[in-house]
Amino acid sequence: MQPEELSKFTKEKARELGFQLVGIAPAKAFPESEFYKEWVRQGKAGQLEYMTRDPETRADITRWYPQAQSVVVCGIRYNSQKTAGTSPNGSWGRISRYATSRDYHQWLPKRLGNLLQFLKAAAPDLEGRIFTDTSPLLERMYARYAGIGWIGKNTLLIHPKMGSYFFLGGLALNRQLVPDEPLPDHCGSCTRCLHACPTEAFPRPYQMDASRCIAYFTIELKESIPEEFRSKMQNWVFGCDICQEVCPWNKFSTASQDPALAPRTETEIPLEELAHLTPEEFEKRFEGTPVRRSKWRGFLRNVLIAIGNSKNSGWTRLLQQYLRHPDPLVSEHAAWGLRQLQKNSEPAGGGTAPPAPCGGVPPR
């Protein structure tokens, strides 16, 4: 196949496989890779060790796959709709939308593999490698140059018709394809995402300090969350969507109809339920979803912070019980939650109080 024909064939097959977005970029380093290296040098990655590993490889796809001549980037929209309700007195915990369905690491690589097999069958001399966010590559950089979208001020890739609620993956190929044109930046003078972030994780437009991000605290950080940020985490117990929720471009986002992305849990769940999950119940409750990445103790840590931020004195007894927990990570955050609750609590009579916590020592 000639480059034009192979490029068209690639996009057709990608869409048949369920990818709403597909584009082609040249296989080379771009100026953004220098910004990434400086970001790492400034310590903005926090404890995201995988982001700091081998920055030269991450900045240039040909260091990862020397034969690469073209990069095919695919995007698939995930469920962007909220589920469940919101309690007026803060008795619900929030989970990022991307984490409510089956973990994309379980199915996205296979779908990309199917695309690669189609291409190999059509062009026998073609070879390539699959990448998702587990590979040492700057996917968003190549997605931008593949015409998938522009990098917004919140550092997320934004498509003018689908917003930013989608997963990315792709192929590095040893064949020359026809590259797409990058989309222009349409953020304009809007700064909603920058001002909406409670922890001020954006020191300036187009730059994020991961060490201040709520998603980083609730998912990636495995130890104690710095006290200065706990009261700002609101009721997020896994991930955070704030900078996407306020983005005007996400008003065009719609729910995914892909079977692989069928919801397995809600975006808002009563803290009463979450606070009493045993380790075994946690695994079962969030089976197959990204929520399990935080592990039970990390998730409970997040729940205790959300309870502390709830301003509802009905949680006092449960927090007192968790003070006796043998895991210091749990007992420390229970103590903070209790202090926070006592400082800011409102009478439960002003709204519907959470059910009285179960008696006895909480699950270990």
Measured N-to-C along each axis, helices 108-122 and 3-16 cross at an angle, to the nearest 10 degrees, of 140
pLDDT recorded at residue 266: 93
- For 9, list phi and psi in degrees, rounded to 5: -60, -40
185: in domain: no
Average pLDDT in the 275-302 region? 97
Q: 177 near 125, Cβ under 8 Å?
A: no
Statement: residue 241 has pLDDT above 80: yes
pLDDT recorded at residue 214: 97
Statement: residue 267 has pLDDT above 90: yes
167 has which bridge partners?
76
Statement: residue 85 has pLDDT above 70: no
Question: Residue 127: enclosing H or E segment and its boundaries?
Answer: none
Average pLDDT in the 21-48 region? 75
220: in domain: yes
181: in domain: no
pTM value > 0.85: yes
Task: Identify whether residues 18 and 126 lie together within a single domain.
Answer: yes
Q: Is 346 helix (H, G, I), strand (E, B) or coil?
A: strand
171 has which bridge partners?
72, 130
Confidence of residue 39 (pLDDT cuts 50, 70, 90): low
Report the percent of the chain where pLDDT is more than 90: 72
Task: Identify whether residues 302 and 165 lie together within a single domain.
Answer: no
Name the least confident of 51-60, 87-96, 348-357.
348-357
Confidence of residue 272 (pLDDT cuts 50, 70, 90): very high
Number of domains in the chain: 2
The domain of 107 spans: 3-78+97-173
Average pLDDT of the chain to the nearest whole number: 88
Statement: residue 353 has pLDDT above 50: no
364: in domain: no
295: in domain: yes
268 has which bridge partners?
94
For 54-123, the DSSP string reads: -HHHHH-HHHHSTT--EEEEEEEEPP----S---TTS-EEEE-GGGGBS-GGGTHHHHHHHHHHHHHHH-
Task: Identify whether residues 162 and 16 lie together within a single domain.
Answer: yes
87: in domain: no
277: in domain: yes
Task: Identify whether residues 155 and 278 lie together within a single domain.
Answer: no
pLDDT recorded at residue 357: 43
pLDDT in tens, 138-164: 899 999 999 999 999 999 999 999 999
Statement: residue 5 has pLDDT above 70: yes
Task: Identify whether residues 169 and 196 lie together within a single domain.
Answer: no
Q: Which of 35-49, 54-68, 188-202 is predicted most confidently?
A: 188-202
Name the least confident of 22-31, 80-89, 116-125, 276-285.
80-89
pLDDT recorded at residue 149: 96
Task: Identify whether residues 12 and 143 lie together within a single domain.
Answer: yes
More confident residue, 42 or 105: 105
Taken in order 143, 72, 47, 287, the sign of the CA dihedral is: positive
Average pLDDT in the 314-322 region? 93
pLDDT in tens, 199-231: 999 999 999 998 899 999 999 999 999 999 999
Catalytic positions are 133
Task: Identify whether residues 141 and 247 lie together within a single domain.
Answer: no
Task: Identify whether residues 73 and 114 lie together within a single domain.
Answer: yes
Task: Identify whether residues 196 and 58 lie together within a single domain.
Answer: no
Task: Identify whether residues 150 and 240 lie together within a single domain.
Answer: no
Task: Identify whether residues 243 and 345 lie together within a single domain.
Answer: yes
Measure the CA–CA gap between 354 and 92, rounded to whole angstroms.
9
pLDDT in tens, 95-105: 999 999 999 99
pLDDT recorded at residue 349: 43
Q: 184 near 150, Cβ under 8 Å?
A: yes
Measure the CA–CA gap between 110 and 253, rounded to whole angstroms.
25
Q: Where does a domain end: 109, 138, 173?
A: 173
pLDDT recorded at residue 244: 95
Task: Identify whether residues 225 and 283 lie together within a single domain.
Answer: yes
332: in domain: yes
Q: Where does a domain end: 173, 206, 224?
A: 173
Average pLDDT in the 164-178 region? 96
Q: Where does a domain end: 146, 173, 200?
A: 173
For residue 71, count other CB atoms closer than 10 A to its CB: 29
